[in-house]
Amino acid sequence: MSIPKGDSLSSEAVPVPDHDAFRSLQLKIESLPKELSAIPELPEKTVSLLPVKGQPRALLGTDSDAKPVRPTTEQSTDFTPYTAEIEEKLHHNRVPTPAEHPPAFVQPHAPYEVFSAKIFSTRELTKPGAQKRTFHFDLDVSHYPAETGVDFKVGGAIGVQAPNEFSMVEEVMDLLSIPCVARDRKVIVRTSGGRWPTIWGDDKARELISTRRDLLTWCSDIQSYPPTKPLLRLMAEYATDVNEKKILSYLCSAEGQGAFCELRTGPHVTLPQLLHAFPTSKPPLDHLLSVLKQLVPRFYSLSNDPHENCVPVDGCSRLIEIAVTVHETPDWRGGERTGLASGFFERQARKFLEAEAKGEKPDLRVPMFKGLMSNPLAREFVSDGPMLLIGAGVGVAPFRGFVQRRLRNANCANKVWVLQGVRDSLLDELYSGEWGVHEDEVKKVVQSRKGVGRYVQEEVINQKELCWFVINALDGRIFVCGSSKGMGEGVEKALVQVAMEMGNMSVQEAEEFWKLKKEAGQYIAETW
């Protein structure tokens, strides 16, 4: 990213910070305009952190004091902890610590609380050498609170409220020079509007109790969004080094618009990375929380049929299963860093497996909620009629549940087909051997990095008779699931070609054909 050199009257040389964190931003700055225009106003401070005075004894504890505080409804603060009965239901007989579970006001599924699901078991689905690692999880939802009319559904997706990594939160507090004694101390959080730090709440002013650590762990995203202008403007305000201030102001200005866009679309910059890059800028935490984005839940498709009977063991009578592929992005210190939620899952899986290897029975939790049970895959799944399931990578996971459900019904066993896109079947063919007795009849695997290398859409064309039969059959359905980056469009194009060849249609007619099939709920694509 290079900034054009101006003449010496309109621009000035700026000595740039000489350290790796600054270099990692890839800003190539030699000189900057002397005058900067259109620098935005300092963002409004919408959050205030105030000391708690005269709080009840239960609230004076540190992070080991796990009593959740009721979410506030009005402007007043409600200090009443939940009753033991509610806590037991919510938390599976053991109250999870604040490091394991979000505060009660983080409520993405109102009126229901986030549920602390115990990991019943986990395993790695991919083999060493796979380009992406994928883990399977069995989550114990035996005690998930009953909700009228809604149940876990085959093809549905649970929501997961994953925390920011402990070490990254600690690093942010170090960089902001927040004293250790203040990190877990209860504070009154007062907001002047918006939803934060709740998720589902109305847009309104709030007052509730939390700690600085909990707010940074559960409520604000510190790693997965590129820097925004309000954040850079706030950092410019508090930078005490004149050059850091100038560079940060430049990035907010009209003159720095190009550099700002490249910063946003270039390296994946985290909050701690930015604070390292401009070390003299230490905004007050409440002002910083006013500009950070909300930490939002991630969704994971059920990879089992949640109505399969689970043999009650160790107090668990109901399991849901998911497969999580670990997202990775380059880390500024070298190597890779993991995605926020998929990284959390990988850490939990590794802890679980290490404990198990030592013969221990770990009690590790995933904060989850029922999430999407009327998404296209869950909504359109039917228990009869021929079904063609097309998926790549972890996108194939929900189809395992579809096939499990269908294989329970002998009449349907010969009416399901799966086209699975993988890189190398020896390394990353997820759930190989777990689809039921007729797997080789039911499933065709297409490898993108073995032999000639093919994508799943090529197999769609090879299977044009099958596609045509399924989509024209009574109750026939074609489901597509996987990455939105290419796979979804690739499959759609292949299906258009199939309709042209098999139905003797023009491109426009074939596109219209699939549009109508989509509207009729027979062609269902869920890509992300």
Ligand X SMILES: Cc1cc2nc3c(=O)[nH]c(=O)nc-3n(C[C@H](O)[C@H](O)[C@H](O)COP(=O)(O)OP(=O)(O)OC[C@H]3O[C@@H](n4cnc5c(N)ncnc54)[C@H](O)[C@@H]3O)c2cc1C
Residue ranges in contact with ligand X by CB under 6 A: 157, 223-226, 268-270, 298-301, 322-325, 327, 329, 339-343, 372, 375, 394, 397, 528
Residues 301, 348, 404, 522: which binds ligand NAP (CB under 6 A)? Answer: 301
Strands (E), 215-274: none
Nearer CB in complex with ligand NAP: 130/189: 130
What are the distances in angstroms from CA 414 to CA 91, 408, 435, 474? 42, 12, 13, 15
Contact code string over 322-351 relative to ligand NAP, x by CB under 6 A: ---x--------------------------
Considering only residues 100, 214, 286, 526, which one is a binding residue for ligand NAP as defined by CB under 6 A?
A: 526
Does 524 participate in binding ligand NAP (rule CB under 6 A)? no
**Where are the alpha helices (H) located in 266-418, listed in sequence order?**
271-277, 285-291, 340-357, 376-380, 397-407
Residue 508, both tokens: 């426009």
Beta-carbon contacts of residue 259 (< 8 Å; ≥ 6 apart): 1, 3, 27, 29, 250, 251
Q: How far is the CB of 341 from ligand X (least distance, A)?
A: 3
Residue 72 binding target from ligand NAP, ligand X, none, CB below 5 to 8 Å by type: none
Q: How far is the CB of 330 from ligand X (least distance, A)?
A: 10
- Partner interacting with residue 324 (select from ligand NAP, ligand X, none; CB below 5-8 Å by kind): ligand X
- Does 303 bind ligand NAP (CB under 6 A)? Our answer is no
Residue 261 CB partners (closer than 8 Å, separation 6+) = none
Candidates 8, 62, 80, 528: give the one binding ligand NAP (CB under 6 A).
528
Residues 166-195 that bind ligand NAP (CB under 6 A): none
Of 448, 462, 464, 501, the one binding ligand NAP (CB under 6 A) is 448
Picked from ligand X, ligand NAP, none, the partner binding residue 455 (CB below 5 to 8 A depending on kind) is: ligand NAP
Report d(CA 87, CA 244) in Å as an integer.
Answer: 48
Q: Show the binding pattern over residues 485-504: x = contacts ligand NAP (CB under 6 A), - = does not.
A: -xx--x--------------
Q: Does 159 help bind ligand NAP (rule: CB under 6 A)?
A: no
Rounded Cα gap, residues 239 and 505, in angstroms: 64
CA atoms within 13 A on the CB side of 348: 29
Report how far apart, in Å, the C-alpha atoms of 383 and of each of 303, 308, 429, 479 are. 17, 14, 26, 14
Q: Is 373 in the site for ligand NAP (CB under 6 A)?
A: no
Q: How far is CA 28 from the centre of its chain?
A: 32
Ramachandran region, residue 274 (left: φ > 0; alpha: ψ -120 to 50; beta: rest): alpha
Residue 507 C-beta: closest distance to ligand X, Å? 30
* CB of residue 311 to ligand NAP, shortest distance in Å: 27
Indicate the helix (H) or strand (E) that contains 425.
helix 425-428
Applying CB under 6 A, the span of 116-124, 204-212, 420-428, 499-507 interacting with ligand NAP comes to 420-428
Query: Under a CB-based contact definition with an 8 Å cutoff, are residues 299 and 481 in contact?
Result: no
Which residue, 120 or 345, has its beta carbon nearer to ligand X? Answer: 345
Which of ligand NAP, ligand X, none is residue 487 near (CB under 5 to 8 Å by kind)?
Answer: ligand NAP
Q: Which of 79, 112, 225, 455 binds ligand NAP (CB under 6 A)?
A: 455
SS (H, E, C) 162-226: CCCCHHHHHHHHHHCCCCHHHHCCEEEEEECCCCCCCCCCCCCCEEEEEEHHHHHHHHECCCCCC
Binding mask 377-416 for ligand NAP (x = CB under 6 A): x--------------xxxx-xx------------------
- Cα–Cα distance for residue pair 338/167, rounded to 1 Å: 13
Which spans in 429-503 are helix H? 439-442, 456-462, 464-472, 487-503
Kindly state the tokens that stand for 413. 């066993």
As measured in angstroms, the least distance from the Cβ of 86 to ligand NAP is 32
Q: 333 is written with which tokens?
A: 């210190």
Mapped onto helix, strand or coil, the DSSP state of residue 524 is: strand
Give the nearer residue to ligand NAP in terms of CB position, either 96 or 398.
Answer: 398
Contact positions with ligand NAP (CB under 6 A) in 124-153: 132
Footprint of ligand NAP on this chain (CB under 6 A)?
132, 157, 301, 325, 377, 392-395, 397-398, 421-423, 448-449, 455-457, 481-483, 486-487, 490, 526-528
